Amino acid sequence: MRGEAPFVSGAQAIDATLAQRVLDKALERGGHFADLYFEYRRSASLSMEDGKVRTAGGGIDMGMGVRVVVGSAVGYAYAESLEPEEMMRAAETASQIAKAGAAVAPVAIRSRRVKSVYPVLDEVVDVEGLARVELLRRADRAARAHDRKIKRVDASLVAVHKEILVVTSDGVMVHDLRPMVRISVSAVARRGKRTEVGSSGGGGRLGLGYFESVTPEAHGQEAARVALLNLDSRPAPAGTMPVVLGPGDSGILLHEAVGHGLEADFNRKRTSNYTDCIGKPVASPLVTVVDDPYIVGSRGSLNVDDEGVVPKEHRLIVDGKLRAYMHDRISAEYFHLRPSGSGRRESFRHVTMPRMTNTLMLAGHDDPQDIIRSVERGVYAVKYSGGQVNISNGDFVFSLTEGYLIEDGKLTAPLKGANLIGNGPEALRTVSMVGHDFQLSDGMWTCGKDGQSVPVGVGMPTVKLDQLTVGGTAV
């Protein structure tokens, strides 16, 4: 049965009067702003290993957090209960942590409705267990049918139904329902003594409708394709050379190595490569980067941020020049700007900070085939696995799970063991061609920062970097 957050209706419903009392308690020792964040989260998960159900689970998590802001100082406390006395205790604790001067009275609270960019009619979390098993069996069958060399298939499905309510001392009260579905498939191919792995996955802020546009069979076949491709891969070259980034998934490199440096808290603390660079050239003039929270159904999309602010599209880099940072309420006040809707948190147990949503490099005018033809010898990067990134300065190492050698303007051999090594801001300056083939990744991207993880989206067109270090094992 579909549940509804108890703070929306029922005996524990939060109305403006109760919220006002908690905010009064939060600000009684002073502070110029306070907010309440209520969260109700239902989840269901399932995993299959080699055709057999391995784990199945689910659960409910619920609670609320209270934040008191004094300049750039924050007092934060949370309660794993919606009982009024527990909420008042959390408010008092946050107030004690903040320890400000004169108290500020909350403004009268008014409920706000927001337009949804992730409407959901059928929740995967509400689907019966056998139906979820069948989704994974479909992926398993498709991968095995792709080729007899596929010897093992693993798959998993995670669905989340999350509701939040944000109430602020400046009069905002807003509710949002945030669905999420994610499927992951891996396939093992074997030929003789050689074994290789391929994977595929995707999802977004959707319900069962996701599987109408991207079927489980498609993910199974894609995982099998990559595994078979890797059976023919050869050691990657090493050295500095041109690198062509494929459309879609390559956006994760942009997100990690460049995007974090554009989050305003790093610039407020002066630890970003982009500090004091507003209006200055920071990339090739071919580069325009945006953070767009309004892509329907995308994993990083938001109707409202976790501070109750309706987000907007951020044009971060335009024609190579830095235009803006991504702000939460604290950084916006520091820079004397309006909050831009970039305040995000992992859960009610965490405080907000500036975070990305869907970070994209916009399309250019070059033909993708012309981009590849322009490279005498280099690497074409398509898919990525775990990387290491210094999010303050943009230094990165990314491993490729699918990549190709470019020789005389043609894709020749698939590569094994290729790593891309460099610095994000420096790499953006070497962009010499940008394709017209923008793609939004259907990946399962999750972004980590200061111990918090949030879902994000990425995307970009085919892009040529004139030089980047490739780590490989070829001799």
Contact in structure between 69 and 85 (CB atoms under 8 Å):
no
Record the tokens describing residue 124, joined without a space.
């995967």
How high is the mean pLDDT of the chain? 92
Cβ-based neighbours of 17, under 8 Å, separated by 6 or more: none
Contact in structure between 264 and 327 (CB atoms under 8 Å):
yes
For residues 396-413, one letter each, b for 16 or more C-beta atoms within 10 angstroms of the residue's C-beta and e for the rest, the string is bbbbbbbbbbbeeeeeee
Higher pLDDT, 123 or 361: 361
- pLDDT tens for 117-134 read 876 655 667 777 788 999
Residue 103 banded pLDDT, cuts 50, 70, 90: low
Q: How far is CA 291 from CA 129, 251, 254, 262, 432, in A?
A: 36, 12, 11, 10, 22
- Pinpoint the residues of the chain covered by CATH 3.30.2290.10: 16-231
Provide the 8-state DSSP code for 408.
Answer: T
Beta-strand pair 110-112/172-191: parallel
CATH architecture of the domain covering 16-231: 2-Layer Sandwich (3.30)
Beta-strand pair 172-191/150-168: antiparallel
Amino acid symbol at 278: I
Q: What is the DSSP string of 423-445?
A: EHHHHHHTEEEEBS--EE-----
Q: Is the dihedral of CA 148, 150, 152, 156 positive or negative?
A: negative
- pLDDT tens for 199-251 read 999 999 998 889 989 999 999 999 999 999 999 999 999 999 999 999 999 99
CA–CA separation, 65 vs 79, rounded Å? 6
CA–CA separation, 247 vs 441, rounded Å? 8
Task: Name the strand (E) or helix (H) holding 354.
Answer: strand 353-354
Residue 100 banded pLDDT, cuts 50, 70, 90: low
CA-CA-CA-CA dihedral for 113, 115, 118, 119, to nearest 10: 80
pLDDT at 98 over 90: no
What phi and psi, each to the nearest 5 degrees, are found at residue 350?
-125, 150
Amino acid symbol at 342: S
Residue 1 banded pLDDT, cuts 50, 70, 90: very low
Q: Is the dihedral of CA 401, 406, 411, 414 positive or negative?
A: negative
Per DSSP, the three-state class of 69 is strand
